[in-house]
Amino acid sequence: MRLVRRMRIAVVAGALGVATTGSVLSVAADSAFPFDRELKLDTPPMKGSKRVPIIEVSANGAAEIGLWCNTVRGTIIVVGDTITILPGQPAEGQNQCAPERSQGDEEMLSALAQMTNWRREGEMLILTGARTLRFRLQTN
Protein backbone atom coordinates (compact mmCIF):
# COMPACT_ATOMS: atom_id res chain seq x y z
CA MET A 1 0.00 0.00 0.00
CA ARG A 2 2.80 2.41 0.90
CA LEU A 3 4.67 1.52 -2.27
CA VAL A 4 1.58 2.28 -4.40
CA ARG A 5 1.12 5.58 -2.57
CA ARG A 6 4.79 6.54 -3.13
CA MET A 7 4.49 5.67 -6.81
CA ARG A 8 1.38 7.87 -7.14
CA ILE A 9 3.20 10.76 -5.45
CA ALA A 10 6.19 10.28 -7.75
CA VAL A 11 3.95 10.26 -10.85
CA VAL A 12 2.10 13.41 -9.72
CA ALA A 13 5.39 15.17 -8.87
CA GLY A 14 6.84 14.22 -12.24
CA ALA A 15 3.75 15.47 -14.03
CA LEU A 16 3.91 18.76 -12.13
CA GLY A 17 7.59 19.09 -13.00
CA VAL A 18 6.86 18.62 -16.70
CA ALA A 19 3.97 21.08 -16.54
CA THR A 20 6.10 23.66 -14.74
CA THR A 21 9.00 23.22 -17.15
CA GLY A 22 6.63 23.59 -20.10
CA SER A 23 5.25 26.80 -18.61
CA VAL A 24 8.73 28.21 -18.07
CA LEU A 25 9.70 27.41 -21.67
CA SER A 26 6.48 28.99 -22.92
CA VAL A 27 7.12 32.18 -20.92
CA ALA A 28 10.71 32.31 -22.24
CA ALA A 29 9.48 31.92 -25.83
CA ASP A 30 6.84 34.61 -25.29
CA SER A 31 9.46 37.05 -23.99
CA ALA A 32 11.90 36.60 -26.89
CA PHE A 33 12.02 39.12 -29.72
CA PRO A 34 9.91 37.77 -32.61
CA PHE A 35 12.54 37.53 -35.34
CA ASP A 36 11.37 36.17 -38.70
CA ARG A 37 7.74 36.94 -37.87
CA GLU A 38 5.46 39.43 -39.57
CA LEU A 39 4.46 42.23 -37.19
CA LYS A 40 1.39 44.29 -38.14
CA LEU A 41 0.74 47.71 -36.60
CA ASP A 42 -2.31 47.46 -34.35
CA THR A 43 -4.38 50.17 -36.04
CA PRO A 44 -7.05 50.35 -38.72
CA PRO A 45 -6.10 51.20 -42.31
CA MET A 46 -6.22 54.80 -43.48
CA LYS A 47 -9.36 55.87 -45.32
CA GLY A 48 -9.34 54.62 -48.90
CA SER A 49 -6.72 51.92 -48.28
CA LYS A 50 -6.45 48.40 -46.92
CA ARG A 51 -2.75 48.74 -46.12
CA VAL A 52 -1.36 48.90 -42.56
CA PRO A 53 2.34 49.16 -41.65
CA ILE A 54 4.10 45.80 -41.30
CA ILE A 55 7.61 45.02 -40.09
CA GLU A 56 9.56 41.81 -40.57
CA VAL A 57 12.98 41.46 -38.93
CA SER A 58 15.38 38.63 -39.75
CA ALA A 59 17.67 37.19 -37.08
CA ASN A 60 20.62 39.16 -38.52
CA GLY A 61 18.74 42.44 -38.01
CA ALA A 62 17.82 43.12 -41.63
CA ALA A 63 14.32 44.57 -41.69
CA GLU A 64 11.66 45.17 -44.27
CA ILE A 65 9.27 47.92 -43.20
CA GLY A 66 6.01 48.17 -45.09
CA LEU A 67 4.59 51.64 -44.50
CA TRP A 68 1.21 53.20 -45.33
CA CYS A 69 2.32 53.75 -48.91
CA ASN A 70 5.87 52.53 -49.57
CA THR A 71 8.30 49.91 -48.31
CA VAL A 72 11.80 50.53 -47.00
CA ARG A 73 14.63 48.31 -45.87
CA GLY A 74 16.44 49.00 -42.66
CA THR A 75 18.34 47.52 -39.75
CA ILE A 76 16.99 46.69 -36.31
CA ILE A 77 19.38 46.03 -33.43
CA VAL A 78 17.97 44.24 -30.39
CA VAL A 79 20.03 43.89 -27.20
CA GLY A 80 18.08 42.79 -24.14
CA ASP A 81 15.02 45.03 -23.96
CA THR A 82 16.72 47.81 -25.93
CA ILE A 83 15.96 48.35 -29.60
CA THR A 84 17.50 50.62 -32.22
CA ILE A 85 15.72 51.00 -35.53
CA LEU A 86 17.63 52.42 -38.48
CA PRO A 87 15.09 52.77 -41.29
CA GLY A 88 16.36 53.34 -44.79
CA GLN A 89 14.98 55.76 -47.34
CA PRO A 90 12.13 54.83 -49.68
CA ALA A 91 13.45 53.70 -53.05
CA GLU A 92 13.12 56.07 -55.98
CA GLY A 93 10.04 55.51 -58.07
CA GLN A 94 7.97 53.78 -55.40
CA ASN A 95 4.23 54.21 -55.18
CA GLN A 96 2.75 57.66 -55.54
CA CYS A 97 0.19 58.02 -52.79
CA ALA A 98 -2.33 60.43 -51.43
CA PRO A 99 -0.66 63.18 -49.38
CA GLU A 100 -2.03 61.86 -46.06
CA ARG A 101 -0.53 58.41 -46.69
CA SER A 102 2.85 59.90 -47.69
CA GLN A 103 2.72 62.02 -44.51
CA GLY A 104 1.88 58.83 -42.55
CA ASP A 105 5.01 57.17 -44.02
CA GLU A 106 7.19 60.07 -42.88
CA GLU A 107 5.65 60.06 -39.40
CA MET A 108 6.04 56.29 -39.05
CA LEU A 109 9.70 56.38 -40.13
CA SER A 110 10.36 59.18 -37.65
CA ALA A 111 8.59 57.30 -34.83
CA LEU A 112 10.45 54.07 -35.57
CA ALA A 113 13.80 55.89 -35.53
CA GLN A 114 12.98 57.15 -32.01
CA MET A 115 12.17 53.74 -30.50
CA THR A 116 14.35 52.78 -27.53
CA ASN A 117 12.76 49.74 -25.88
CA TRP A 118 10.57 46.76 -26.64
CA ARG A 119 8.56 44.20 -24.71
CA ARG A 120 6.20 41.34 -25.47
CA GLU A 121 2.68 41.05 -24.13
CA GLY A 122 1.44 37.73 -25.48
CA GLU A 123 0.98 38.15 -29.22
CA MET A 124 1.75 41.88 -29.08
CA LEU A 125 5.14 43.56 -29.51
CA ILE A 126 5.19 46.95 -27.79
CA LEU A 127 7.80 49.45 -29.00
CA THR A 128 8.41 52.49 -26.82
CA GLY A 129 10.28 55.72 -27.37
CA ALA A 130 8.94 59.20 -28.08
CA ARG A 131 5.60 57.41 -28.55
CA THR A 132 4.35 53.85 -28.17
CA LEU A 133 3.59 51.56 -31.11
CA ARG A 134 1.83 48.22 -30.74
CA PHE A 135 2.41 45.48 -33.33
CA ARG A 136 0.44 42.25 -33.50
CA LEU A 137 2.32 39.05 -34.36
CA GLN A 138 0.68 37.57 -37.44
CA THR A 139 -0.22 33.91 -37.33
CA ASN A 140 -0.43 33.24 -41.07
The angle at the Cα of 122, spanning 127 to 70, to the nearest 5 degrees, equals 45
What pLDDT score was predicted for residue 53? 97
CB atoms within 10 A of CB 12: 10
Percent of the chain with pLDDT strictly greater than 90: 66
CA distances to 19, 53, 71, 104, 107 from 64, rounded to whole Å, are: 38, 10, 7, 17, 17
pLDDT tens digits for 76-127? 999 999 999 999 887 766 667 889 999 999 999 999 999 999 999 999 999 9
37-55 tens-digit pLDDT: 999 999 999 988 899 999 9
Single pTM value for the model: 0.76
Q: Which residue has the higher pLDDT, 36 or 97?
A: 36
Cα 137 from Cα 70, distance rounded (Å): 21
